[in-house]
Amino acid sequence: MSTDRSTDVNSPKSLRLVVKVGSSLVTDGGRGLDRQAIANWAGQIAALRAQGHEVVLVSSGAIAEGMQRLNWSRRPDAMHELQAAAAVGQMGLVQVYESCFRAHALNTAQILLTHADLADRQRYLNARSTLLTLLALGVIPIINENDTVVTDEIRFGDNDTLGAMVTNLIEADWLVILTDQAGLYSADPRSDPQAQLLSTAIAGDPALERMAGGAGSQIARGGMITKVIAAKRAARSGAHTAIASGHEPDVLQRIVAGENLGTRLMAQTTPLAARKQWLADHLQVAGRLRLDEGAARALRSGGKSLLPIGVREVVGEFSRGEVVSCLDAEGREIARGLVNYPAQDARRIAGRGSAEIETLLGYVEEQELIHRDNLVLL
């Protein structure tokens, strides 16, 4: 996969985007899935893929489709009924997306996540590895919240937040939130005729949350406030957010081309700085790896992963996905990163070549002990 990406939406270089489409855009007013609309999204995303951009789609619609299949006219309040609707509707949602992307000779993959999946470091690494592999293979990942098992997420959650978490997960350049509104207004345009559309603002500005209104329909959940908060979350990993109307023709291509559509909430932190802060300052160190001079030199030179062969000693007990310190031969901490193997397996492969991992462990999780994308120099 090319790593030559830019956070400038006007750049000719390839971008990695997370596109979130809400229930109001993929359903026919709550009467089940709008196949024509979904075919339109597939066509737009196929065009972006042809231009070299990477796209992950976060789609609502499972509960709305389930309601239609079960002949329910009103969204239920009971948790078990919501979960049942999600289980039924997810079948239809995946079928329609699969057929629409197939028309463009693109493979799709269904990914069901919960917030807990991305809060757990081991599952975080697993989800990240899977998504990056799918993108490298040219597959379009279609992500939805796993509404059949979550509880509070159905009642209070939203796919705007999930889209932001996926943006952080894969270090996307942009989070594009498509809605039935033109963007973020200074006030609720449905009740205030003086409301002004905001073209550009800073993600995380407290004033934005005061401007945002509530949820707009009985089918959708969330509203503009969740989009503003999602943009703040996405900005933590340096991603910008675009909030625009999904009813605009060719909206995705126009946003990527730099047209001034909707509202752009700009991150003030570069992706590298945000990720370094998260890894270095906010996650507890669970163990230490003492490196030989060659491995320490490779890390200091930048852009290198840590291979097992460069590790002289493994100190402490840790699980896959936890943060470990990397020490040079003099015991100075030079880097931190998310480790791909638990401590007991790391000890078995320390000092050995990557080609020996499967022989020594009976499996291969990754060729690297710490991948360069999950490692920061100190």
Distance (Å, rounded) from C-alpha 26 to C-alpha 37? 6
- Coil/strand/helix, residue 103: coil
Q: Residue 198 maps to which CATH number?
A: 3.40.1160.10
Q: Residue 324 maps to which CATH number?
A: 2.30.130.10
**pLDDT: is 197 or 211 the higher one?**
197
279-331: per-residue pLDDT in tens? 665 467 889 999 999 999 999 887 789 999 999 999 999 999 888 999 999 99
User: Do residue 203 and residue 344 come from a single domain?
Assistant: no
Phi, then psi, of 40 in degrees rounded to 5: -65, -45
353 within some domain:
yes
How many C-beta atoms lie closer than 10 Å to residue 330's C-beta?
9
Q: Indicate the helix (H) or strand (E) that contains 240.
A: strand 240-245
264: Cα separation from own chain's centroid: 18
12-38: per-residue pLDDT in tens? 578 999 999 988 888 876 667 889 999
11 within some domain:
no
Residue in the structure block whose two tokens are 């003086």: 194
User: Do residue 134 and residue 260 come from a single domain?
Assistant: yes
How many CA atoms, within 13 angstroms, populate the side-chain half-sphere of residue 63? 30
User: Do residue 140 and residue 220 come from a single domain?
Assistant: yes
Range of the domain at 345: 283-377
Which pLDDT belongs to residue 281?
A: 53
Pairing relation of β-strands 263-266 and 240-245?
Answer: antiparallel
User: Do residue 116 and residue 212 come from a single domain?
Assistant: yes
Distance (Å, rounded) from C-alpha 36 to C-alpha 17? 23
Phi, then psi, of 39 in degrees rounded to 5: -60, -35
User: Do residue 73 and residue 110 come from a single domain?
Assistant: yes
User: Do residue 259 and residue 338 come from a single domain?
Assistant: no
Alpha-carbon torsion 231, 237, 240, 243, what sign?
A: negative
DSSP state letters, 15-41: -EEEEEE-HHHHBSTTSSB-HHHHHHH
In this model, does residue 214 exceed pLDDT 50?
no
Provide the domain count of the chain: 2
Q: How far apart are the first and last CA of the chain?
A: 26
User: Do residue 219 and residue 343 come from a single domain?
Assistant: no
165 within some domain:
yes
Last residue of one domain, picked from the residues 250, 271, 292: 271
82-105: per-residue pLDDT in tens? 889 889 988 999 999 999 999 999
User: Do residue 123 and residue 189 come from a single domain?
Assistant: yes
Distance (Å, rounded) from C-alpha 110 to C-alpha 144? 8
234 within some domain:
yes
228 within some domain:
yes
How are strands ordered across the β-sheet holding 174-179? 108-113, 140-145, 54-59, 16-21, 174-179, 240-245, 263-266, 200-202
Whole-prediction pTM value? Answer: 0.72
Which pLDDT belongs to residue 219?
A: 35
Tokens at 2, concatenated: 């090319």
